[in-house]
Amino acid sequence: MKEVHRNKQFGDLLRTFRIRKGMTQIQLAGLSTISVRAIRDLELGRTRPRQGTTQLIADGLGLTGRDRADFDTAAGHAVVTDAFELIRNSEHVRPPASLNAIVGRESEASMLADMLVSGRRRLVTITGVPGVGKSRLALRVAEILYRSHGIPVLWTTPPEVVTPYRMAAAQDQLSHLIRHTLDGLFDAEGDSAQQLSSLIGDQPVVLVLDGCDGSRAHSDHATSLLQKSHGLRMLRTARTTPDIPEEQTSPLSPLTVPEFGLGHSPAQLAEIPSVQVLVSHIRLVRPEFTLTVANARAIAEICWRLDGIPAALEMAASWLLACEPEDLLTQVRSDPFSVIHHSTRDGGLSHLGKTLGAVLGSLPPDERLLMEHLISARSSMSVSEAAEASGIPAPTCLALIRRLLMHGLLMHEDGSTKRFRTLNLIHYLQDCERSHQHFAAAPFNGAMHEELVQLSSRTCLA
């Protein structure tokens, strides 16, 4: 079916060029030494264009430059070097437009960009919980590679993923082929990896696969591409750690939050990334807003209770159009999901409770056991403390904690690697389940949380 569609596309392009040149099929046959019947069959998409035939027809039409590249590409016979030079000037080799500035992620962006430019790692995956900013970080890395190093960037996202970062619609034959090939990387069938490899060859290119959860097809295509195109670097985003050989996983933690219960001056808070994000979004709805001694405590605790998750902070900020920080804090303490459940950023924050519940429920027994002890602790812990509380040997406990950090279910306390804690949102989710007597029967039941969200969404901020 795909072959028929490709033949039809080539036939339409052949007919367009012939008419543009003012030729009949008979005249083109005379100039190209190809029979009239063969030209007619090609224009109708009945036959597959052979490379020799394509060259003769292109010569007969007098095609050069971009027209010649588009013609060869549509026929599936693009010359790699010529096609790649044209790819460099295409709209599809630059990152999507960023919608806002990135805050608190410059060190991660610089490290990932250096890793990909140097070639120390050719396959890197950013992991983390929904809303933590995986796509935005990938976009910043892509911007650095494109603008500072001149490396072409190809960006693609599975069609079912909700994201503000998508490439513009293809405007020409070559761009259409690039777009079609990139979309095919999430399809188990087809030869998209081979097609893309033939276009880029061994030239330096960065391919960003944004939102790779649950697709075995793209993993297979990724491995094949990296083997065929030696200049290719690949950056992926996913919620969980994938299983691809030679892959470098980079877990993305939430933004640093103020220490709970400590007094912070407005000047001190202004230096904390999560507060910077929250305040910047507040000013979009209340331009006159400033940090003061009066609102500092509420702002600090909101950031802490929402775990410094950028998308959660963004959604919480919108409520300050109708209330004050102290009122918002009261609601966040009561039910944080009622404040953030409307957002759909980064794969759907509206399902954050359900997603967290699903991730927790799918943990292997050893990780699940440790997680239950960590949730019950209600405070930050060290590895030795976690081992003592859970009865798990310290070396095994350390390995389990590392895996939970990779999932994004734990975060370091105060930026230190010595202590860590579970997300506050997970604590709230567990409390909801316990209060509804679901925790023992169905621990971490994310579906049950959807019902709680619906109930809480009916409440209004005081």
Calpha distance 323→319 (Å, rounded): 7
pLDDT above 90 (res 64): no
pLDDT above 80 (res 81): no
pLDDT above 50 (res 140): yes
Bigger pLDDT: 241 or 370?
370
269-288 pLDDT tens trace: 999 999 999 999 999 999 99
Q: What residues pair up with 101 in beta bridges, in sequence order?
A: none
CB 116 within 8 A of CB 145: yes
Kindly report the pTM of this predicted structure: 0.72
pLDDT above 60 (res 209): yes
pLDDT above 50 (res 73): yes
Calpha distance 268→277 (Å, rounded): 14
Compute and round to an integer the Cα radius of gyration of the chain: 27
CA atoms within 13 A on the CB side of 306: 36
pLDDT above 80 (res 266): yes
Which segment of 189-203, 236-250, 304-318 scores lowest on mean pLDDT? 189-203
Q: Could you give the C-alpha distances from 211 to 100, 121, 135, 347, 385, in angstroms and in order?
A: 20, 20, 8, 8, 36
393-434 pLDDT tens trace: 999 999 999 989 888 888 887 656 688 889 999 988 877 766
Mapping DSSP onto H, E and C, the string for 393-447 reads CHHHHHHHHHHHHHHCCEEEHHHCCCCEEECHHHHHHHHHHHHCCCCCCCCCCHH
CB 446 within 8 A of CB 440: no
pLDDT above 50 (res 447): no
pLDDT of residue 65: 65
Calpha distance 210→213 (Å, rounded): 9
* ∠ Cα 448 243 223 (to 5°): 130
Torsion angle, CA of 311/313/315/318, rounded to 10 degrees?
-150
Bigger pLDDT: 51 or 253?
253
Calpha distance 4→232 (Å, rounded): 30
Tokens of 50: 């052979």
pLDDT above 80 (res 189): no
pLDDT of residue 172: 52
Calpha distance 181→164 (Å, rounded): 21
Amino acid identity at 149: H
Which segment of 142-146, 183-187, 376-380 scores lowest on mean pLDDT? 183-187
CA atoms within 13 A on the CB side of 42: 26
Confidence grade of residue 114 (pLDDT, cut at 50, 70, 90): very high
CA atoms within 13 A on the CB side of 337: 28
pLDDT above 60 (res 344): no
- Widest CA span in the chain: 87
Q: Could you give the C-alpha distances from 192 to 78, 238, 443, in angstroms and in order?
A: 15, 21, 42
229-262 pLDDT tens trace: 888 999 999 887 656 777 888 999 999 999 887 7
Q: What is the mean pLDDT of the chain?
A: 80
pLDDT above 70 (res 47): yes
Taking residue 129's Cβ as centre, other Cβ atoms within 10 Å add up to 30
Calpha distance 44→65 (Å, rounded): 25
Give mean pLDDT, residues 352-362.
77
